[in-house]
Amino acid sequence: MLLIEKLVKSYPGQHGQDAMLALRDISFKVEEGSFFTLLGPSGCGKTTTLQCIAGLEHPDTGLIQMGGKTMFSSRENLIVPANRRELGMVFQSYAVWPHMTVFENVAFPLVYGIKRAPTQEMRTRVLKALEMVELGQFADRPAPLLSGGQQQRVALARALVHAPRLLLLDEPLSNLDAKLRDTMRTEIRNLVKSLGITTIFVTHDQVEAVSMSDQILLMRAGKIVQQGSPRDIYLSPNSVFTADFMGRSNLITGVLDRSGETARAHTALGPISGVAGPALKPGASVVVVVRPQGIRIASTSESSGLNCFKARVQNMNFLGDVVEMQVDIQGSKLTLMLNPYTAISVGQELTLEFPPERCVIVPSEVPSSCGPLK
């Protein structure tokens, strides 16, 4: 549905500084009907990418196609302006127009847009869109009299009323309070899935990304770090950055050894067997990523098994739905997440097992930065 090829975008330097490279060679593809998330820390280029798709910004070079139609091509010298791309977009500030009623806001794309509808049809479609976001009875209310959550729904109805090619969501949940955010997360996902519309979602919150998306594209400093399903990205990170960004993890540095049946990393704890990508060469300096939920407490009889280590409990932190436990293994500090019913006390000696399929070996970080353009 959406094809992005080799997007490069730089911003001219201000006040005598060098130009900044916001996007460095971004390419990806989004399937029809997919919920696709651009995820990353601020300044990673996710919003710039979305703005380029929307046509509010234009890349320096590259290609953007939607449903086979070229929207931007530096080679063909072609830009389709934002108002001709037939898109729907929900903005971070919602951008609900305060001088109009709810109805007028939602009717705007059908009255002034490209795909205009005759008055009668327009009325039916607007009311249908309002019903869809459960705002049917608010049609005549002035927009400033709505709550934050209601404004968000108006923005969503306005973005969907003209049946756009793509729905773009620019951090739409970041201005809502925590409880409403959880509700809207499910609602938005169910709504767009039931309509079958292809959705591009931008967020810096990995919980939102994991819970809503079919595919996640993780970005950093204008580059793509990893693309995959939420499960792939969470459980099989390809870098320290991904592991760290997607949630808490224990990072143990070491050197890769491929001499045995499985890949092993020699670490301060001793050798750890795990999963390593084929690109990693023996002798490379690596990091073993183990999620705090991935470590098992073994029975004492298993104490000499593969990936088993003796540990001393240093601290127990009761958080309600989980217990966070800090342990010490030969001077290294590790964190575990346990069931709150676990009865373990501080100072206790334990044997911990790191199941090899849960130990992901990734290259240690190569520093890369969004620095000045050479």
Residues in contact with other proteins by CB under 8 A are 12, 54-56, 58, 72-74, 76-89, 91-93, 95, 97-99, 108-109, 112-115, 155, 158-159, 162, 168
* Residue whose CB is less far from other proteins, 161 or 243: 161
* Residue whose CB is less far from other proteins, 125 or 220: 125
Q: How far is the CB of 145 from other proteins (least distance, A)?
A: 13
Tell me the angle at which helices 148-160 and 178-195 cross, rounded to the nearest 10 degrees: 20
Q: 54 near 202, Cβ under 8 Å?
A: no
* Residue whose CB is less far from other proteins, 158 or 185: 158
* Residue whose CB is less far from other proteins, 173 or 276: 173
Q: How far is the CB of 107 from other proteins (least distance, A)?
A: 10
Q: How far is the CB of 127 from other proteins (least distance, A)?
A: 18
Q: Which residues contact 193 (CB under 8 A, 6 or more apart)?
A: 35
The closest of 122, 134, 144 to 190, measured between CA atoms, is 134
The closest of 221, 197, 191, 216 to 205, measured between CA atoms, is 216
Structure tokens at 82: 């934002």
Helix, strand, coil tally for the chain in percent (to 5) = 25, 35, 40
Report the distance separating Cα 34 and Cα 229, nearest Å: 11
* Residue whose CB is less far from other proteins, 116 or 248: 116
Q: How far is the CB of 190 from other proteins (least distance, A)?
A: 23
The neighbouring-strand residues paired with 154 are none
Tell me phi and psi for residue 35, to 5 degrees.
-100, 105
Q: Which residues contact 178 (CB under 8 A, 6 or more apart)?
A: none
Q: Is 98 helix (H, G, I), strand (E, B) or coil?
A: coil
* Residue whose CB is less far from other proteins, 204 or 358: 204
Q: How far is the CB of 187 from other proteins (least distance, A)?
A: 21
DSSP letter assigned to residue 233: H
* Residue whose CB is less far from other proteins, 79 or 251: 79
Alpha carbon distances (Å) from 86 to 74, 103, 113, 152, 160: 21, 20, 9, 20, 11
Q: How far is the CB of 112 from other proteins (least distance, A)?
A: 4
Question: Which residue matches tokens 């400033």?
Answer: 144
